[in-house]
Structures are given as structure tokens and as C-alpha cells.
């Protein structure tokens, strides 16, 4: 459709005013909504693509993805429709400049950088919570309004993670060619491998770098040069390019742009938490662009003295808020409740051995959308207050532990950092007036779980409910109530609690942890299965017997969903004990399990898998051929080149041909490098990470 001819015409109730941009599959116009008398952006599918069902599906998928996201920093979708054969999306018209133009090859000032990055991180985090990854985060896709509000645009490359799971068989090979903008891709995107939320984290790190320095971190003369830089090079430090960059930003950027997905932030929530801490510590002297002087309060300044003053959180709930509890009046003021008298604290803390011991109580994690961080901090303060009454126990101050709020951590590492003999961790899940609190006491030295407990309470009011929860936890920690096994959390009816239990077990040194995590692979929730597989990978070869048994059992029972996650875990542990079950899985009839087994065999690196992988290149399913070619590339055995060359010449799937060509090239490079190294050439080779098959 000629943009000059369409200007002035009317489509449905939209009058086209001017062209704005043209992309690979659609043209974008500024238009007037005649019915509502407002300016909108109209994205119209190019006429040449109307006959292609795949283009229409992708075009409408973009609209569905974006329209499902309700967030102040995501462009609003008004309407998705077809009018006389013309497919269009009507969306919010955002006045202002793109972030690219705002940067204009110069570093942004710290207040503007942090305000924009916090807004964008929050928007992308919301999309991830809805199961959507963007896959094309870049300054050109972020608009900045005159008052400094950021708007994330263009979910045209976005991918619904649940949709990816249910249609993985049809889409794995389609990912053989990179999607996105070269200079802002993650390494896995650049290689054409499957990507997930962590790909967006990498791209966001690139945007952070560009805002901080005015320069792109990865450049080249062509796309191939850029892809190589992304996969292999480290950009110059931020402070070398901009000495006035905010302190701590370099560490966030470095972790975002780790080459290996497992080494990056595992979620945008983690990135957002660290950005909040930097923002809170700066004490802006000038307003940030959206007019907020301090977008986020420092975690160290969360209100203290919970038994004395009602925090702002309760002003919505408790009458008389803003006065001290003793000023509230009534026959039974909260400050005079019998909580302190209801439990006598012994001199010795029984759960940690020794005469003098130290304990760090970390901020309890908020699970679900209804949990309040203020309430969690009040619980933390209440526990610290009561536990400090044990004469043999020294508590780490709240100001020291507050920095661990809203971030992932290894309790053993935290215990060592704080010089504490034990660490108390926990989570809070709220649903209406009901609250469930779980807690685990971890021994720093041995990593074992000394005590675990779960408290269910109905909050008649917030303060007395807090008293009741704290009292029950202290009863357990004082040795008056038997704790539960932490693995019992994996049987809880709440998916969030089970996920949290897996998160704790992944750091456990308890021998029972491996069996509990292997059992969690059978969980009805794919999120729990995936978390359990990742956690098992941390245990290495010690988890091999449990993983192998679970893989064999699930395959025999036809539970291929569980088997796929077990195969994924098997690929992480580098143990020959899982070779035989993986070979059986490779040769099973379920193509997704066979594909995941092929990837795991490639990661395992055992050459005994070579004949089966070569044979799998002849399987009718393209996904199995694709992942087998990937695995053969990782094994890098020249004996497989002949079979791969046949795939390049004869395979009817473009993705399989491309992956086979990559494998051949990789094998030749490995062989050449090995020969060079044997004569004093270059150092060891770093094998690329294999893509994931969505189980």
C-alpha cells in the first residue's frame, strides 16, 4: 500500500493523517479517531502479505500480546480489527521522542537514566509475569513523553511463553534464524537458539549501557561482526566512558550482559530491585524527568519501631492511623496486648549449637500479588525484637540485612557474608484475609535446615494478626513446637509455596534435598517442574541416580512432560550415569522428549551418544533433527560431518539445514583449533550453551 495514496483516506472510523514508519510486515500511520476525536497510531498490515496466513497470525499475535498488558509504561492497544480486507491495530499515540533520540549519542544524567530504567524494567517485568517476552528491547522501541514517562512499544517479536510450550513442536526450528535487532540481541538470539526472559535481561543491559555512555556496547561493520562481538567481546567499562555514571550501575550492567544465561539476573524483578537500591541511595538533588524526586524509598528507611507507630501501610486499614498505638484509645490498646507475656523466652537458643551464636533474620519474601512488603518488614522487626531476648543469641541488625530484600540469594553465602552462624529465611503468601508464612532456619557452616515451620493465620486486623504469626514462629524456634520437614513445602496446595520450597532446597546440603527435588519433577505445575530441574542441576553428579530413576520411570509410564524436565536436568549435571536413560529417551516416540534428550546429550559431551544422534538425523520430526544436529555440533566429532552434510543438501526444513551447516562449521573450527593448540596455538575452547526445548 503506497503511503502517499493512503493519507487522507478513512479506514473504519480512522482518518489517516501522515505516515510514521514502515516495517517488515506493516506500515504505521498517525490517524484521527473520528468517533472519539483523538489522535491514535494505526498499524496496517502490508497488502502484499495479506495472502500469507502466517503474516496475519503474527500481526494479530502482536496485538493480542500487547493488549493483554495493562501497565502505565506499556503502549495501550485500543482496537484490533479488519475493515474491507485491511487488517489494522489502533493504539495509543505517544507524544515525545524515542529513547534513541533522547540519548542522542550522549550519556544521560543519573536522575533521568534511573527514572527511565526503573520504568522500563517495571514494564518488562510485568510482561514477563504475564508469560510474555519482548525479544526486541532497544531505545527505538521506548518512547519518552515530555514529562519523562517511558512507554515500551512494539511487541511484534513478542512471544507468549505458554503458547511456546504448547506449540514447541512447530516452532523450534523456526528459531534457527535470529529475531530482533542485531545490536541489541542476546548471545542466544544471535546464535539463533531458543531464548527466554533472560534474553530480554541481556537486551535491557545493552540499553542501560547506551543510556550511561551514549554508545552501543557491541558494534561492527555488518551483522556478522556484531553477532561475534555480542557472543565473544566485553565492552569498555561504563566509568571509562562516563566517570559520572551512578555508583553500582556497572555491576548491574555486567550481570545483565553475562554471556551465559545462567550467570545473568534470572528475572527482571531482580534487576528492578537492584536499580531501586541505587536510586534510593542517590538522594537526587534535582527532579527526575517524571517529577518524582525519589521514585523509591531506601529499604534501610522502612519504618522501624513497629510496636510504637502505625506505618503508612495501615492507614488504609486501621482507624486512627498516624497516631501511636497508645494514643488510639479503646479498652484494649494494641501496645498493651499480652504478646510479650504469652511466651517466655529461654536464655539459650536451642537450635544452633554453642555457647555464643549469631543469627541473621532476612526479609521474608513476598509471594503472590497480594503480599505487602511493609507487612513483611514489620514481621521481620517483630521477630528480631523477640529473638534478641535469647541471651545466648546475637542478632544482625535490620539495617544490615535489609539489602537482601526482593533479591535472590544463597542463604549459606549470606550467612558467611554477615558472619552469622545461622540464617532465618521465609516467605509470606496472602489471599484476602488469609496469610501463610513459611520459615526455615539454615545452618551457615553445614548448609542444613535446622528447623522449618509453616503458619496459617486469618488476619482479623493487621496488627493482632502479625502478633499471632510472630508468636507461633517464636514458639517453634524456642523448641516448644516441632518443625516440619522443608520438603513438606513441596506438597503444599499453593504453587507459590511449592516454588519457594524448591528455591530453598536448591541451596540445601541435606541429603534428602535431591530426592525431594526429583519428586518435584512430577508436580502438576510446569513452573515447579522447571524450577526443580534447575535446582537439581546445582547438585552435579550427586543428583545423577535420582534424575536417572525419574527419567526412566516417567518415560516408562508415558509421562513425557515429567520426562522432558528430567532430561533437561540430566543435561546439566555432567554425569555418565544418565547416558543410558537419555539414549532411551532420544529413541522414544515423543518428539519433544527426544528433542530435549538430544540437547542434553550434546551438553553431556559423551561420544558414545554419537551413533544414536547420527541416526536421529533421519527421524521424521524436524525438531528432533534440529536438536540432534545441535548436539552433534557440540560433540564436535568429525565422524558426524558426512551425515550433517546430507541434512544440508537434502533436508526439507530450512531450520534443520541451517543448524546442520552451523554444526559442520563448528566441528571444523574445533578440529582446526585443536590442531593449532597442539602446536602451541590458542587456548581452550568455550562451547556455546545449547538452546532449551520448552517442555
Q: How many domains does the chain have?
A: 4
The residue from 464, 491, 518 where one domain ends is: 491
- The grid coordinates of residue 104 equal 542522542
544, pLDDT greater than 50: yes
Residue 344 has pLDDT above 50, yes or no: no
* Among the ranges given (143-157, 223-237, 554-568), the one the predictor scored with the smallest mean pLDDT: 143-157
**What distances in angstroms separate CA 430 from CA 241, 295, 501, 640, one per listed residue?**
46, 26, 16, 55
* Residue, of 356 and 191, whose pLDDT is higher: 191
pLDDT band at 217 (very low <50, low <70, confident <90, very high): very high
Say if residue 68 is in the same domain as residue 150. Answer: no
Residue 50 confidence (pLDDT): 57
457: helix, coil or strand?
A: strand
Residue 62's pLDDT band (cuts 50, 70, 90): low
Given a cut of 50, whether residue 337 has pLDDT beyond it is: no
Q: Is residue 290 part of a domain?
A: no
CATH of the domain at 47: 3.30.200.20
Q: Where are the alpha helices (DSSP H) in 485-590?
A: 495-505, 512-520, 526-537, 544-557, 560-570, 579-586
CATH number for the domain spanning 315: value is 3.40.50.10610
350 phi/psi in degrees, rounded to 5: -80, -20
* Residue 326 near residue 333 (C-beta atoms within 8 A): yes
- Please count the CA atoms within 13 angstroms of the CA of 570 that sit on its side-chain side: 35
Same domain, 439 and 313: yes
**pLDDT average, residue stretch 319-341:** 35
* pLDDT-based confidence at residue 557 (cuts at 50, 70, 90): confident
Phi-psi region of 8 (alpha: psi -120 to 50; beta: other; left: phi over 0): left
| Inside any domain, residue 287 | no
Does 572 map to a domain?
yes
Strand partners, 79: 90
What's the rounded Cα separation, in Å, for the pair 256 and 205? Answer: 5
Element (H, E) at 223: helix 223-232
CATH code (residue 248): 1.10.510.10
Which cell goes with 133? 517476552
User: What is the CB neighbour count within 10 angstroms for residue 619?
Assistant: 17
CA separation for the pair 508, 232 (Å, rounded): 34
pLDDT at 674: 73
- Do 62 and 160 lie in a common domain? no
Q: Are residues 112 and 72 in the same domain?
A: no
Residue 138 and residue 98: Cα distance in Å, rounded? 10
Query: What pLDDT is recorded for position 576?
Result: 87
37 is catalytic: no
Q: Are residues 313 and 255 in the same domain?
A: no
Q: What is the mean pLDDT of residues 365-375?
A: 69
Q: Are residues 580 and 450 in the same domain?
A: no
Return left, alpha or beta for 459; rule: phi > 0 is left, psi -120 to 50 is alpha, else beta.
beta
Q: Which DSSP string corresponds to 587-613?
A: TSS-HHHHHHHHHHHHHHT-GGGHHHH
Strand partners of residue 360? 423
The residue whose grid cell reads 527505538 is 140
Q: Are residues 240 and 375 in the same domain?
A: no
Do 225 and 356 belong together in one domain? Answer: no
Task: Tell me the pLDDT tens digit for each residue of 462-487.
Answer: 667 787 888 888 877 775 444 455 56
Q: In degrees, to the nearest 5, what angle opens at C-alpha 301 toward C-alphas 374 and 418?
A: 95
Bridge-based pairing of strands 357-361 and 393-395 is parallel
Taking the C-alpha atoms of residue 459 and residue 313, their distance in angstroms, rounded to an integer, is 15
In a 13 Å sphere around the CA of 331, the CA atoms on its Cβ side amount to 0
Co-location of 44 and 110 in the same domain: no
Provide the pLDDT for residue 58: 66
Element (H, E) at 633: helix 622-635
pLDDT in tens, 11-37: 999 999 998 877 656 788 999 999 888
The predicted model gives 519-541 an average pLDDT of 86
Question: How many angstroms from the chain centroid is the CA of residue 164?
Answer: 16
**Structural domain includes residue 549:** no
In a domain, residue 527? The reply is no
In what helix (H) or strand (E) does residue 133 lie, and over which residues does it extend? strand 132-133
Q: Which of 33, 136, 196, 653 is catalytic?
A: 136
DSSP state of 425: E
pLDDT band at 248 (very low <50, low <70, confident <90, very high): confident
54 and 135 assigned to the same domain: no
Residues 359 and 426 occupy one common structural domain: yes
Place 446 in a pLDDT band, splitting at 50, 70 and 90: confident
Confidence bin at 295 (pLDDT 50/70/90): very low
Q: How far apart are CA 516 and CA 536, in angstroms?
A: 10
**Residue 380 confidence (pLDDT):** 84
Where helices occur in 388-511 by DSSP H, the ranges are 398-401, 411-418, 462-477, 495-505
How confident is the model over 224-243, as a mean pLDDT? 92
**Can you read off the three cell numbers belonging to residue 146?**
515530555
Could you say which of 491, 513, 540 is where a domain stops?
491
Domain residue limits at 632: 563-678
Where residue 438 falls (left for φ over 0; alpha for ψ -120 to 50; beta otherwise) is beta
Give yes or no: residues 109 and 73 share one domain.
Answer: no
Give residue 15's pLDDT.
94
| Residue 233 maps to a domain | yes
In a domain, 547, yes or no: no
Cα–Cα distance, 651 to 78 (Å, whole number): 44
What does the pLDDT look like over 380-404, one tens digit per residue?
Answer: 888 888 888 777 788 888 878 888 8
The CATH number for 574's domain is 1.25.10.10
Residue 30 is assigned to a structural domain of this protein: yes
Amino acid at each position: 500500500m503506497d503511503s502517499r495514496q493512503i493519507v487522507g483516506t478513512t479506514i473504519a472510523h480512522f482518518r489517516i493523517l501522515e505516515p510514521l514508519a514502515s516495517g517488515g510486515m506493516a506500515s504505521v500511520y498517525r490517524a484521527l479517531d473520528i468517533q472519539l476525536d483523538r489522535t491514535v497510531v494505526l498499524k496496517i498490515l502490508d497488502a502484499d502479505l495479506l495472502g500469507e496466513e502466517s503474516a496475519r497470525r503474527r500481526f494479530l499475535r502482536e496485538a493480542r500480546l500487547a493488549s493483554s498488558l495493562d501497565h502505565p509504561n506499556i503502549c495501550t492497544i485500543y482496537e484490533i480489527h479488519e475493515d474491507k480486507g485491511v487488517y489494522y491495530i489502533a493504539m495509543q499515540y505517544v507524544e515525545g521522542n524515542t529513547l534513541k533520540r533522547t540519548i542522542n549519542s550522549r550519556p544521560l544524567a543519573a536522575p533521568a537514566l534511573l527514572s527511565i530504567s526503573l520504568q522500563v524494567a517495571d514494564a518488562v517485568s510485568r510482561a514477563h509475569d504475564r508469560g510474555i517476552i519482548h525479544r526486541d528491547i532497544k531505545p527505538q522501541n521506548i518512547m519518552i513523553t515530555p514529562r519523562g514517562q517511558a512507554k515500551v512499544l512494539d511487541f511484534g517479536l513478542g512471544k507468549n511463553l505458554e503458547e511456546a510450550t504448547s506449540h514447541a513442536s512447530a516452532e523450534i526450528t523456526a528459531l534457527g534464524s535470529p529475531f530482533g535487532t542485531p545490536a541489541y540481541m542476546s548471545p542466544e538470539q544471535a546464535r539463533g537458539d531458543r531464548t527466554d526472559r533472560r534474553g530480554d535481561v541481556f537486551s535491557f543491559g545493552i540499553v542501560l549501557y547506551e543510556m550511561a555512555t551514549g554508545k552501543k556496547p557491541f558494534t561492527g561493520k555488518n551483522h556478522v561482526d556484531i553477532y561475534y562481538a555480542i557472543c565473544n567481546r566485553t565492552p569498555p567499562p561504563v566509568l571509562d566512558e562516563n566517570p559520572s555514571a551512578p555508583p553500582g550501575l556497572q555491576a548491574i550492567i555486567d550481570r545483565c550482559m553475562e554471556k551465559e544465561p545462567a550467570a545473568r539476573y534470572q528475572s527482571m524483578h531482580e534487576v528492578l530491585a537492584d536499580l531501586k537500591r541505587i536510586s534510593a541511595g542517590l538522594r537526587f538533588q534535582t527532579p527526575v524527568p517524571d517529577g518524582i524526586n525519589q521514585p523509591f524509598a531506601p529499604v534501610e528507611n522502612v519504618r522501624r519501631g513497629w510496636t510504637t507507630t502505625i506505618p503508612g501501610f495501615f492507614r488504609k486499614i486501621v482507624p486512627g492511623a498516624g497516631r501511636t498505638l497508645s494514643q488510639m484509645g479503646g479498652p484494649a490498646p494494641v501496645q498493651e496486648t499480652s504478646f510479650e507475656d504469652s511466651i517466655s523466652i529461654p536464655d539459650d537458643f536451642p537450635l544452633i549449637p554453642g555457647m555464643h551464636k549469631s543469627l541473621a533474620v532476612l526479609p521474608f519474601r513476598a509471594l503472590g500479588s497480594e503480599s505487602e512488603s511493609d507487612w513483611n518488614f514489620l514481621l521481620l522487626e517483630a521477630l528480631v525484637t523477640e529473638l534478641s531476648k535469647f541471651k545466648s543469641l546475637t542478632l544482625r541488625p535490620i539495617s544490615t540485612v535489609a539489602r537482601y530484600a526482593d533479591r535472590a540469594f544463597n542463604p549459606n553465602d549470606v550467612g558467611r557474608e554477615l558472619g552469622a552462624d545461622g540464617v532465618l529465611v521465609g516467605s509470606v503468601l496472602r489471599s484476602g484475609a488469609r496469610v501463610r508464612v513459611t520459615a526455615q532456619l539454615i545452618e551457615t557452616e553445614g548448609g542444613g535446615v535446622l528447623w522449618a515451620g509453616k503458619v496459617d493465620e486469618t488476619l482479623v486486623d493487621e496488627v493482632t494478626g502479625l502478633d499471632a504469626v510472630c508468636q507461633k514462629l517464636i514458639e517453634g524456634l524456642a523448641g516448644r513446637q516441632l518443625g516440619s520437614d522443608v520438603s513438606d513445602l513441596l506438597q503444599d496446595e499453593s504453587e507459590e509455596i511449592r516454588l519457594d520450597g524448591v528455591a530453598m532446597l536448591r541451596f540445601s546440603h541435606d541429603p534428602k534435598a535431591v530426592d525431594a527435588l526429583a519428586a518435584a519433577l512430577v508436580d502438576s505445575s510446569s513452573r515447579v517442574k522447571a524450577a526443580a530441574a534447575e535446582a537439581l542441576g546445582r547438585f552435579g553428579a550427586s543428583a545423577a541416580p535420582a534424575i536417572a530413576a525419574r527419567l526412566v520411570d516417567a518415560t516408562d509410564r508415558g509421562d513425557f512432560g515429567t520426562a522432558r524436565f528430567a532430561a533437561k536436568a540430566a543435561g546439566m549435571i555432567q554425569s555418565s550415569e544418565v547416558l543410558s536413560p537419555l539414549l532411551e529417551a532420544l529413541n522414544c516416540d515423543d518428539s519433544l522428549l527426544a528433542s530435549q534428550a538430544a540437547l542434553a546429550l550434546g551438553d553431556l559431551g559423551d561420544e558414545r551418544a554419537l551413533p544414536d544422534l547420527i541416526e536421529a538425523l533421519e527421524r521424521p520430526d524436524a525438531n528432533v533433527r534440529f536438536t540432534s544436529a545441535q548436539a552433534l555440533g557440540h560433540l564436535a566429532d568429525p565422524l558426524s560431518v558426512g551425515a550433517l552434510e546430507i541434512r544440508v543438501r537434502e533436508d526439507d526444513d530450512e531450520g534443520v539445514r541451517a543448524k546442520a551447516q552451523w554444526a559442520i562449521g563448528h566441528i571444523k573450527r574445533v578440529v582446526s583449533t585443536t590442531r593449532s593448540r597442539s602446536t602451541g596455538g590458542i587456548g581452550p575452547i568455550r562451547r556455546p550453551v545449547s538452546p532449551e526445548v520448552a517442555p
